[in-house]
Structure 1
Amino acid sequence: MDLAGRKIGDLIASFPGATLVFRRHKVGFCCSSSKSLAEVAQRKGFDAEVVARELCDLPKGPLTLPDVNDVDAFIDYILTRYHQTHRDELAELILLARKVEAVHGDHPDVPVGLSDALFEMAEQLDAHMAKEEMVLFPAMRKMCEDGSIAVQLVMPIHCMREEHDDHGEAIHRLQKLTNHFTLPDGVCGSWRALYSGTAKLVEDLVAHIHLENEVLFPRFE
């Protein structure tokens, strides 16, 4: 399987757990999601084929993503795989972060402010996804159904792209607060679950943004 030419965001969407591999090789996957694995490998000085083999060795994947030409199926995939998942997981992660911050407040590495950062992300992300669900996605479906011109979607898509950039900044904040999800020695199960869950949230959000920015939106621009 030739993975070197595929974009980092595409690999994250296709291989659950890919961000673990990229962190191991010090790949800033959030900023590099639109670049190919080969491009990043050349810039960072690692072997793209080694990373490709590690991705193929992950226990889940590769996943088969829906064809973007079937817009209904592609949008349905985004709604079920990402929108609802983000809402469900963020609600749990906020509670878990509050617990860890309260119980381990005297620990020097406790992620102070993580619960607030997750709560802010949940609010911003929910508002963003609601715009897509109530306005943008129905308009896309309608245009595919009746063959109307997509020019009226240029500005709404531009606004969604700008909000995606804001989500990228929020991801960087989560990474900073958790020291890139590095667990101190001997921490409890709740702390481990918090970092594991937040890392998965980040991976899902990077994949979600990539599929919209690089696959779905260009079809209407």
Structure 2
Amino acid sequence: MITAELLDVTLLAPRLKHPTVFEYFDRLEAGESFMIRNDHDPKPLYYELIAERGPIFTWEYLEKGPEWYRVEIKKNEILPQDPLATIPGKDIAKAQILKEKNVQFGCASEEKDSTLPPVRPRTQNSPPTTFQEQSKWSLEFLCDYIVETHHRFVKERVEPLNDLAQKVAEHHGQTSPLLYRFATMTYHFLQDLLDHQVREEEVLFPMIKKAVAYSKDPSQGGDYEPGILSQPRALLEEEHHIAFTDMDYLKKLSNEYSVPEDACNSRRLVYRLMEEFQEDLLTHLRLEEQVLFPRMIALDEQNLASTK
């Protein structure tokens, strides 16, 4: 039996962190607890526990950043009246985009605000109607365009989407349990996208630019080697497939982003923002798969042929 044992999740491989916490929790008897230690706020784990095990535990922060987070997780003998009370809504910062729109939050009540402003599609740096025009751009410019438009859009929306999804789950998860899953899935979906973009910005795109330089003068290609670009392409296309699957799952959890008539402003807005986010992401991923990747591979093969 485990009582107040400390689990340092920073020592675990990423894929083992949440399963190990669940294993520890499942071994607890009623009234027992254990602690976890992490280098970032483990709040997404809270929502995953709620979604998978239900409100049968209490969650207490013993240390809350900025460098370390320690949380005591206790299995309850009796279901708490309010399983979300240990993470008050005030802990979640209001998203900047909501401040700009001056939206009044209504999660604490059932009152519906009919004055909720519509979410406008982006107009700045709007992409061409089709990929035909983009296929004429230089590869260097295309990489920069993706970073400055689509990647930037993802980075700007991650915090508002995460904050809103968690806020809605806190206030309405008891009556709509799928909101816990939606909040957890939103976090993992967005984190995977950020990791994906880092790999593109730090590895793939610089290598594409070196391949272009090599095609003009092999002495200017740096550490680029002809034939190397097919390797990251396979990985990134697999990550695209995962993103498409995640988007479908979020649609399923939200019933195609439909909301009850009495839904609060936050729930209405997070669904609208996620729809807009996915629309941009679809354009983003298809641009890479239909324009960037084929042209990248064609250049790589051309460079390889020149060495024979």
TM-score scaled by length of structure 2: 0.49
Deviation at 1:110, TM superposition (A): 5.9
Alpha-carbon distance in 2 for matches of 1:150, 1:126: 28
Specify the SS of the correspondent of 2:154. Answer: helix
Paired residues for 1:203-218 under 5 Å: 203-218=279-294
**What amino acid is the match of 1:79?**
V
Give the total of aligned pairs: 164
Deviation at 1:150, TM superposition (A): 4.8
Alpha-carbon distance in 1 for matches of 2:194, 2:180: 23
Deviates more, 1:110-119 or 1:64-73: 64-73
**Residue of 264, 271, 274 corresponding to 1:198:** 274
2:213 aligned residue = 145
Percent identity over paired residues: 27
Deviation at 1:165, TM superposition (A): 0.6
Alpha-carbon distance in 2 for matches of 1:133, 1:76: 9
Deviation at 1:151, TM superposition (A): 2.0
Deviates more, 1:92-101 or 1:108-117: 108-117
**What amino acid is the match of 2:292?**
L
**Equivalent pair of 2:134/2:291 in contact (CA under 8 Å):** no
Alpha-carbon distance in 1 for matches of 2:194, 2:134: 26
Q: Which runs of 5+ in 1 are unaligned?
A: 1-57
Paired residues for 1:1-221 under 5 Å: 63-64=127-128, 67-68=134-135, 69-108=137-176, 111-147=179-215, 150-221=226-297
**Equivalent pair of 1:104/1:110 in contact (CA under 8 Å):** no
How much is the aligned-residue C-alpha RMSD, in angstroms? 2.4
Alpha-carbon distance in 1 for matches of 2:173, 2:229: 47
Q: Which runs of 5+ in 2 are unaligned?
A: 1-120, 219-224, 298-308
Instruction: Choose between structure 1 and 2 for higher RCO, CA contacts under 8 A separated by at least 6 residues.
Output: 1
Higher-Rg member (1/2)? 2
**Equivalent pair of 1:171/1:202 in contact (CA under 8 Å):** yes
Provide closer, same or farther for how the CA distance between residues 108 and 135 of structure 1 changes in structure 2, counting only shifts above 3 A: closer
**Equivalent pair of 1:109/1:184 in contact (CA under 8 Å):** no
Provide closer, same or farther for how the CA distance between residues 110 and 163 of structure 1 changes in structure 2, counting only shifts above 3 A: closer
